[in-house]
Structure 1
Amino acid sequence: MVKQFFFVALTGIFLASCSVSKSARGQRDLFSGTWSLDNISYENNSGNFKSVIFNDAEDICFEGSEWFFRDNNSTGRYTIAQSTLCNGGDRFFRWSVVEPSQNYSSQLQFKFIDENRNDISGGYGYRLNIVSLTEQAMTLKSNVSVDGQPVTIVYEFSKK
């Protein structure tokens, strides 16, 4: 009887340590669904910027892109429209919400996968700070360096 109790208690502790917090679960639920990336802008520096986002395409290609997050298996995709400047199509990713710490707010983290959910990024991924997240709108930011100077890329989404 004591061994069974110990086993149940140990199993409970193990499961609790592996679970996602209530806050992160709530954010995951809000991410779930289809979003439109309406605007990309830059903060903390002056001048005009043109950048390649996520080692994939120029920033202009991402404006109007459609993003889909599936929370039950942590996969998703974004779709870029084909144009003369942009190599259109679907890009698949695995995503999660990283808990806040002393140094940052909650973050969206993702890495690229193929259609069969196999890692194609060699474990390399991206993290974006979650500035705001509601049922209808989301703002994410990432800090980058341009010529040694900090620049913040701001991504503004609306829920479809």
Structure 2
Amino acid sequence: MKKIVFIVVMSVFALACKPKQTVTNTKLDNKSERFLKGDWIVSSVNYVGSDVFKVTSFNIADAKCFEGSLWTFVSNNNTGEMVLNKTNCAAFGSQITWFINKDGKFVMKFLSEGVKAKHTVGGYVLKIANQTETSFQLIDRASVGSNSAEVVYQFDKI
């Protein structure tokens, strides 16, 4: 009888202590990550449905300022950097940390100088699509009034 009570108590305790699940799956898609290794350029930024509205991407600049931006992805340690360099747009550069999870989501953080990734609270989750060895797309959701739209960043290998 004591064994049964002990088993029931331990079962209840084990269920009560179940760790929280994260919102973003952190199981990596290493094959997809290896395709990103190297230098890339954003060849276009398109809004699905219309180019009438203006979107600020990643709280940095207008989405169209990301056209021509240069990105480097290092797949063996999930780091990299990006540089905005478009005329008539503010110059910007940052180190990044990133990964692709098994759900097909590209998870990225912009890193401030001297601050480690684990101490950077905010980040971005985008959908990765149409991935080949020479191109891929990152798709972000943007709020437009009471609706939402997709912002598609087209990356091409340099």
Superposition TM-score tier, normalisation by shorter sequence: 0.7 to 0.9
- Kindly, what percent of the aligned residue pairs are identical? 29
Question: Which protein shows a greater Rg?
Answer: 2
Match of 2:46 among 20, 29, 41: 41
- Correspondence 1:59 to 2:57: no
2:141–2:151: 8 Å Cα contact kept in structure 1?
yes
Deviation at 1:114, TM superposition (A): 3.0
Gaps spanning 5+ residues in structure 1: where? 1-18, 101-105
Q: Which residue in the other structure is 1:110 paired with?
A: 108
Partner of 1:3: none
How far apart are 1:139 and its partner, in Å? 1.3
Query: CA 1:46 to 1:123, structure 2 compared with 1: closer, same or farther past 3 Å?
Result: same
Tell me the distance in 2 between the aligned counterparts of 1:52 and 1:20.
Answer: 29
Aligned mates of 1:144, 1:94 — CA distance in 2: 22
CA contact 1:41–1:153 (8 Å) conserved in 2: yes
> Does the aligned pair in 1 maintain the 2:109–2:122 contact within 8 Å?
yes
Aligned pairs for 1:111-150 within 5 A: 111-116=109-114, 118-119=116-117, 122-150=120-148
Establish whether residue 79 from structure 1 lines up as the match of residue 83 from structure 2. yes
* 1:82–1:89 CA contact under 8 A, matched in 2: no
Deviation at 1:86, TM superposition (A): 1.9
8 Å Cα contact 2:78/2:99 also seen in 1 = yes
Whichever residue aligns with residue 98 of structure 1, its letter is N
Q: Give the Å deviation of 1:89.
A: 3.5
TM-score where L is the length of structure 1: 0.75
Match of 2:5 in 1: none
Query: 5+ unaligned residues in a row in structure 2: which ranges?
Result: 1-25
Distance 1:150 1:94 in 2: 26
Q: Distance in 1 between matches of 2:84 and 2:119?
A: 19
| TM norm structure 2 | 0.75
Moved more, 134-143 or 121-130: 121-130
Q: Is the 2:69–2:86 contact (alpha carbons within 8 Å) kept by the matching residues of 1?
A: no
Distance 1:156 1:90 in 2: 19
1-structure distance, mates of 2:74, 2:109: 14
Deviation at 1:76, TM superposition (A): 0.9
Structure 2 letter corresponding to 1:87: A
| In the alignment, structure 1 residue 95 sits paired with structure 2 residue 98 | yes
Partner Cα separation in structure 2 for residue 155 and residue 72 of structure 1: 23
Residue aligned with 1:49, SS: coil
Q: SS at the partner of 1:38?
A: strand
